Structure 1
Amino acid sequence: MLISGGRKNIIKRAKKQALDWLTGLLLILIIAGCTKNESLNAAGSTTVLPIVVLAAERFKALHGVNVIVNAGGSGVGINQLGEGKIAIGMISRNISDAEIKRYPNVNFVVHSIGKDAVVPVVSSEIYDAGIKSLSLRQIGKIYLGEITSWKQLGGPDKDILVIDKEKSRGTRHVFMEIVLGDKEVSAPGADLVLGDNNEEQTAVMQSDSAIGMLSNAWLNSDVKGLSIILQNGSTVEPKLENISNGRFPITRDLLLVTSGEPAGNIKAFIDFILSDEGQKIVRDSGYVSLEQ
Structure 2
Amino acid sequence: MSSSLTAAHADNLRMGGTGAAAELMKLLGAAFEAGADDVTVEVIAGLGSSGSIAATIDGALDVAISARPLKPAEVETGLIQSVFAQTPYGLVSSNPKPGDIAASDLAAFYASTTSTWPDGTPVRVILRPNRESDTALLGGMFAGMGEAIDTVRSRIDVPVAATDQDNLELASSLDGSLVGTSLAQVVTEHRQLQFMTINGYEPTLENLENGRYPFAKSFYLMVPGTPTPLAQRFTAFLQSDDGKRILSAAACLPVIN
Task: Report the alpha carbon displacement of residue 261 of structure 1 after superposing the two structures with TM.
Answer: 4.7
Separation (CA, whole Å) in 2 of partners of 1:112 and 1:57? 21
2:120 is matched with which residue? 156
Verify the 8 A CA contact 2:99 2:118 in the aligned structure 1. Answer: no
Give secondary structure in 1 for the equivalent of 2:218. Answer: strand
Among 66, 72, 75, the alignment partner of 2:47 is 72
Separation (CA, whole Å) in 2 of partners of 1:195 and 1:124? 22
Letter in 1 for 2:127: D
Letter in 1 for 2:232: K
Query: Is 1:267 aligned with 2:232?
Result: yes
Name the count of aligned residue pairs. 240
Separation (CA, whole Å) in 2 of partners of 1:63 and 1:240? 33
1:247 is matched with which residue? 212
Task: Report the alpha carbon displacement of residue 241 of structure 1 after superposing the two structures with TM.
Answer: 0.6
1:23 is matched with which residue? none
Q: Which has the higher contact order (CA 8 A, sep 6+)?
A: 2
Provide the aligned C-alpha RMSD in A.
Answer: 2.8
The 1:154–1:286 alpha-carbon spacing in structure 2 relative to 1, beyond 3 Å, is closer
CA offsets, 1:21-72, max 9 Å, x none? Answer: xxxxxxxxxxxxxx95421321211223323212212222324222211243
The 1:69–1:181 alpha-carbon spacing in structure 2 relative to 1, beyond 3 Å, is farther
- Once the two structures are superposed, the pairs formed by residues 1-292 of structure 1 within 5 Å of their partners are 36-61=9-34, 62-70=36-44, 71-95=46-70, 99-101=71-73, 103=74, 105-125=76-96, 127=97, 131-143=98-110, 145=111, 147-151=112-116, 156-158=120-122, 160-180=123-143, 187-190=150-153, 191-217=158-184, 218=186, 222-229=192-199, 235-290=200-255
Separation (CA, whole Å) in 2 of partners of 1:168 and 1:78? 16
Verify the 8 A CA contact 2:172 2:191 in the aligned structure 1. Answer: no
Separation (CA, whole Å) in 1 of partners of 2:135 and 2:142? 10
Separation (CA, whole Å) in 2 of partners of 1:84 and 1:180? 40
Identity %: 18
Separation (CA, whole Å) in 1 of partners of 2:75 and 2:243? 32
Give TM-score scaled by structure 1 length.
Answer: 0.71
Verify the 8 A CA contact 2:62 2:230 in the aligned structure 1. Answer: no
Task: Report the alpha carbon displacement of residue 124 of structure 1 after superposing the two structures with TM.
Answer: 2.3
Q: Point out the structure with the larger helix share.
A: 1
Verify the 8 A CA contact 1:75 1:168 in the aligned structure 2. Answer: no
Separation (CA, whole Å) in 1 of partners of 2:28 and 2:145? 33
Separation (CA, whole Å) in 2 of partners of 1:46 and 1:74? 8
Separation (CA, whole Å) in 1 of partners of 2:47 and 2:37? 27
Letter in 2 for 1:188: T
Q: Which runs of 5+ in 2 are unaligned?
A: 1-7
Separation (CA, whole Å) in 2 of partners of 1:66 and 1:76? 22
Give TM-score scaled by structure 2 length.
Answer: 0.80
Separation (CA, whole Å) in 2 of partners of 1:148 and 1:121? 18
Task: Report the alpha carbon displacement of residue 182 of structure 1 after superposing the two structures with TM.
Answer: 7.9
Give secondary structure in 2 for the equivalent of 1:255. Answer: strand
Verify the 8 A CA contact 1:43 1:69 in the aligned structure 2. Answer: yes
Letter in 2 for 1:72: L
Letter in 2 for 1:162: V
Verify the 8 A CA contact 1:51 1:285 in the aligned structure 2. Answer: yes
Separation (CA, whole Å) in 1 of partners of 2:180 and 2:236? 31
Verify the 8 A CA contact 2:52 2:66 in the aligned structure 1. Answer: yes
Separation (CA, whole Å) in 1 of partners of 2:15 and 2:159? 28
Verify the 8 A CA contact 1:93 1:173 in the aligned structure 2. Answer: no
Separation (CA, whole Å) in 2 of partners of 1:74 and 1:272? 21
Give secondary structure in 1 for the equivalent of 2:152. Answer: coil
Task: Report the alpha carbon displacement of residue 112 of structure 1 after superposing the two structures with TM.
Answer: 2.7
Verify the 8 A CA contact 1:227 1:238 in the aligned structure 2. Answer: yes
